Amino acid sequence: MDISIVGSGYVGTTIAACFADFGHTVTTIDIDEQVVDQLNHGTAPIHEPGLNELIDAYGGNRLQATTDYAAVRDTDVTFLALPTPSNADGSIDTSAIEASARTLGEALATKDSDHLVVVKSTVIPGTTEDVLYPLLNDAAGEETNQRIDVAMNPEFLSQGTAVTDFQTPDKVVFGTRTDSATELLTAVFEPLLAESEPALVDTGVREAEMIKYANNAFLATKISLINELGNLCKEYGVDAYEVAAAIGLDDRIGEQFLRSGVGWGGSCFPKDTRALIAAARDVNYEPSLLEATVEVNEKQPKRLLDLLKKHVDVSDRRIAVLGLAFKSGTDDIRGSRAKPTIERLQEHNADIVAYDPVATKHMQETFPDIDYAESAAAALNGAHGAVVVTDWDEFSALDEEFDQMADPVVVDGRRVITRKDDIIYEGITW
Ligand SMILES: NC(=O)c1ccc[n+]([C@@H]2O[C@H](COP(=O)([O-])OP(=O)(O)OC[C@H]3O[C@@H](n4cnc5c(N)ncnc54)[C@H](O)[C@@H]3O)[C@@H](O)[C@H]2O)c1
Ligand SMILES: O=c1ccn([C@@H]2O[C@H](COP(=O)(O)OP(=O)(O)O[C@H]3O[C@H](CO)[C@@H](O)[C@H](O)[C@H]3O)[C@@H](O)[C@H]2O)c(=O)[nH]1
């Protein structure tokens, strides 16, 4: 099948590579010429395990990239994997996806056969049918010989494991208005459905849009709840991880997403919880639990710092921040808990030295005035305290490096440090 994908970020590039791997012919469209060049030369524009190998195999042959929307005319279906960032009030900014729908509609005006546009981006219920569908068809014009249909196919991959998550999902959701859209999506996903046999949810467009938000809101709330319980555990001298391991044995609770710590970040949970809160207010519903979910999350970096300040006066002291990415396995710093942690340290005049194996370059743009070390060992050398913000595996191997600290105070926000002897070690919830 011939597939086009608009937007070549974390979602667009991953699905492009995996669709090519299924045997489909894929054309990606992006406004960023550098991204287009990279893809055509077989290089992934983002850091994701396993992605470079796929792009290397298919980029420039079965997977072609372009900036020209005209390419969609030679395809059967177009996926929109465009950003839907937050407006100041938390609602989603649909400008990129709307602009793209207009250009796409114009490009499709001269196509002779019907076309399906599938929204992969996370959008509030009603966006696909009430906003994008009319935009596409208006832009295509009344003279057109074909009909543009829309569908919604939310994406549940996580960064750091994007390729394997996409290839082996728990579920695939088709939100459609017509049987022909469902049939076309089934054909696109046929290799994946046959190989990994995920649950297939065949539903309406608005339901599909809401399933995506509900999924993320549930997971973010689960983490905030374990963080709240974890904070309480700490006050009572109880290890939150022992408690989490036990409650996770209850199938109704489940063992995943019970790692308490410095909180959730990323490009999705912060944006999507705020978007759902804004959408609730739009219909005069007060989303108290979602607001509490966000509030608990915002408190965790302060708790991390309070634990550090219990042992060290951070003012004018060298403090190491270990980890800048919002989670391990990615160079993405969007929504990273390292940002509020660094801001708080700055408010207390700490002399900050940060380290991350892959995300330093991005953080330098946000915080150009702090020091960055080449290794965790270099960051710890001479430091009066250290906070751990990202769960990188390499931090578990740190040992003698702590002996080089001026004061060996370590506050772990992710439960990754294994060395406990001869240092002052505090876990945020244990
Ligand atoms: N990142 C994730 O893990 C993830 C997972 C599931 C769903 N989502 C959702 O998927 C959507 C995309 O997220 P992402 O993280 O892949 O975004 P991203 O920011 O990584 O990538 C977006 C890409 O779109 C391009 N672009 C912007 N405007 C364009 C236009 N008008 N025409 C063509 N290209 C354009 C940008 O240059 C960029 O390459 C969002 O709605 C997000 O909420 C993201
Ligand atoms: O037990 C846990 C699990 C995660 N986190 C944190 O939560 C954030 C998000 O982690 P994760 O969900 O693994 O990564 P994302 O790439 O943000 O993926 C989420 O957001 C994506 C975008 O919508 C969805 O597609 C995924 O299903 C959803 O898991 C990170 O800061 C993690 O450190 C915790 O603090 N404790």
pLDDT digit string, tens, across residues 178-223: 999 999 999 999 999 999 999 999 999 999 999 999 999 999 999 9
CA 274 to chain centre: 14
Amino acid at 366: T
Check residue 147 and give its pLDDT.
85
Evaluate whether 269 touches 220 at the Cβ level (below 8 Å).
yes
Nearest ligand, CA 301: 2
The minimum-distance atom of ligand 1 relative to the CA of 271 is 43
Pairing mode, strands 171-176 and 148-152: antiparallel
CB 1 within 8 A of CB 22: no
Q: Which atom of ligand 2 sits closest to the CA of residue 272?
A: 23
Model ipTM? 0.98
DSSP bridge pairs for 27? 4, 64
Q: So what's the pLDDT on residue 411?
A: 98
The answer to whether 121 and 175 have CB atoms below 8 angstroms apart is: no
pLDDT at 112: 87
Nearest CA to ligand 2 atom 29: 158
Residue ranges in 204-285 assigned as alpha helix (H): 205-235, 240-247, 269-282
Which residues of the chain register pLDDT less than 50?
none
The full set of domain ranges for the chain reads 2-203, 220-294, 299-427
> What phi and psi values does residue 352 have, to the nearest 5 degrees?
-90, 135
Question: What's the token pair of residue 264?
Answer: 């959730």
Q: Whose CA is nearest to atom 33 of ligand 1?
A: 30
Q: Is 268 a catalytic site residue?
A: yes
Q: Which strand (E) or helix (H) includes residue 63?
A: strand 63-66
Report pLDDT for 418: 98
Tell me the HSE value of 187 on the side-chain side, using a 13 A CA sphere: 12
User: Can you tell me which residue has the tokens 């997971």?
Assistant: 219
Pocket residues: Cβ below 6 A from ligand 1: 6-12, 29-32, 35, 81-84, 96, 99-100, 120-122, 155, 157, 159, 267-268
Nearest Cα residue to atom 34 of ligand 1: 30
- CATH fold of 299-427: Rossmann fold (3.40.50)
- Same topology for domains 2-203 and 299-427, yes or no? yes
- Within 8 A by CB and 6+ apart from 421, the residues are none
- Torsion region of 422: left, alpha or beta (phi above 0 gives left; psi -120 to 50 gives alpha): left
Q: Is the pTM of this model over 0.90?
A: yes
Assigned fold of 220-294: N-(1-d-carboxylethyl)-l-norvaline Dehydrogenase; domain 2 (1.10.1040)
Residue from 156, 158, 170, 222 to probe ligand 2 pocket by mutation (most atoms less than 8 Å from CB): 158
15, 28, 30: residue to mutate for ligand 1 pocket, most atoms within 8 A of CB: 30
Catalytic-role residue among 26, 63, 243, 268? 268
CA angle 280, 281, 282 (to 5 degrees): 90
Q: Which residues pair with 371 in a beta bridge?
A: 353
Query: What's phi and psi for 173, nearest 5 deg?
Result: -115, 125
DSSP 8-state symbol, 382: T
Q: Using a 6 Å cutoff on CB, does residue 241 contact ligand 2?
A: no
H-helix or E-strand spanning residue 10: helix 10-22
Class of domain 2-203: alpha beta
**Stretch (H or E) spanning 25:** strand 25-29
Q: Which segments are annotated as binding site?
A: 30, 84, 122, 212, 257-261, 265, 271, 327, 334
Q: Tell which one of 327, 392, 414, 429 to mutate to probe ligand 2, the residue whose CB is within 8 A of the most ligand atoms.
A: 327
Gap between the Cα atoms of 154 and 165, Å rounded? 13
Q: pLDDT tens digits, residue range 289-301? A: 999 999 999 999 9
Tokens for 322, please give them. Answer: 């270990």
Question: Which ligand lies nearest the alpha carbon of 94?
Answer: 1
Q: What tokens does 337 get?
A: 């808990």
219 C-alpha to center of ligand 2: Å? 8
